[in-house]
Amino acid sequence: MPTTPRRPVFPTAVFLGDSVTTGWRSISHPRNRWTSLVCEHLRWREVNLAADGMGFFVRRGGHLPGGGRSPSCRDSTWLETAVRAEPDVLTVCLGLSDAAALPSHLDLVKRAVGHDLEFLARRLRGVPVVVAPYFPALDVGPRFAVVRRLIHERATELGLSSSDAATRAVAGAAARLAADGIHPDDAGHAAIARAMIGVYRRLAPSLCGRGGAPVR
């Protein structure tokens, strides 16, 4: 007799992202970043693999003198780390940093987006993969718009779930942005967390349970 799969006691949520997902210097404490707020509310185990300045293409290659990393459109090291974490749900919040590589490296950024999303779709069959790039607003600039379109188009082609929830949650509001006008502050991260909780409840309801106290 078939049985309904049980929800893991503490589902493992892996996050691949950039400085918006690390929290950068725009939040008052690491626990206030949106990924931590989501996991606290949904009682998930957070595996945050984000790195400042990371993109699908930018800072994805080998180490450079001075501590930086070269760009790459085919490196899988970071992705392999995500798979080894055995996620019950995985979120990709990349693209913001890649806008700086346009227009000169548009083709390479496109190849990098395809490489990463194809890898995850192939290696994480049956695992909800949520592609949720963040930009300060949907109309913030042409380079951001190009990267956003590339990401959503490839995700859709691969049958992955994609969402603008993180971007819409901030929507360029000064009250939700740090002084640089790009990174969300504490209020912005809380808004993103609330929006993404809604996304997860819709796409992976079996992992969400009843949840904890509301994110404020």
Classify residue 198: in a domain, yes or no: yes
Question: Distance between CA atoms of 49 and 77, rounded to whole angstroms?
Answer: 12
pLDDT of residue 184: 97
Classify residue 214: in a domain, yes or no: no
CATH of the domain at 52: 3.40.50.1110
pLDDT at residue 3 above 80?
A: no
pLDDT of residue 62: 83
pLDDT of residue 193: 98
Closest CA to 94 of 130, 129, 132: 132
* Percentage of the chain modeled with pLDDT above 70: 95
* DSSP for 163-198, written as a single string: --HHHHHHTT-GGGB-TTSSSB-HHHHHHHHHHHHH
Give the residues across from 45 on adjacent strands.
12
Q: Per the omega criterion (within 30 degrees of 0), is the bond before 184 cis?
A: no
pLDDT band of 4, cuts 50, 70, 90? low
pLDDT at residue 192 above 80?
A: yes
The residue-averaged pLDDT of 156-185 equals 97
Rg (CA), the chain: 17
Question: Distance between CA atoms of 6 and 14, rounded to whole angstroms?
Answer: 19
Question: Distance between CA atoms of 56 and 114, rounded to whole angstroms?
Answer: 9
pLDDT of residue 9: 80
Closest CA to 75 of 106, 119, 105, 107: 119
Spatial neighbors of 66 by CB under 8 A, at least 6 apart, are none
pLDDT tens digit sequence for 111-132: 999 999 999 999 999 999 999 9
Identify which has the larger pLDDT, 8 or 73. 73
Backbone dihedral angles phi then psi of residue 76, each to the nearest 5 degrees? -115, 5
pLDDT band of 92, cuts 50, 70, 90? very high
pLDDT of residue 209: 83
pLDDT at residue 44 above 70?
A: yes
pLDDT of residue 216: 76
Count Cβ atoms within 10 A of the Cβ of residue 100 and give its class: 0-12 exposed, 13-18 middle, 19 or more buried.
middle
Task: Find how far residue 159's CA is from the centre of its chain.
Answer: 17
Helix (H, G, I), strand (E, B) or coil at 18: coil
Backbone dihedral angles phi then psi of residue 84, each to the nearest 5 degrees? -65, -20
Token pair, residue 43, equals 């009682």
Classify residue 150: in a domain, yes or no: yes
Mean pLDDT of the chain, nearest integer: 94
Please list the alpha-helical segments (H only) found in 4-105: 19-22, 34-42, 77-84
pTM comes to 0.93
How many residues make up the chain in this entry? Answer: 216
Classify residue 107: in a domain, yes or no: yes
Sign of CA dihedral 158, 125, 9, 204: positive
Question: Distance between CA atoms of 181 and 183, rounded to whole angstroms?
Answer: 6
pLDDT at residue 28 above 90?
A: yes
pLDDT at residue 162 above 90?
A: yes
Classify residue 5: in a domain, yes or no: no
pLDDT band of 64, cuts 50, 70, 90? confident
pLDDT of residue 5: 56
Classify residue 6: in a domain, yes or no: no
Domain of 192 in residue numbering reads as 12-207
How many structural domains is the chain composed of? 1
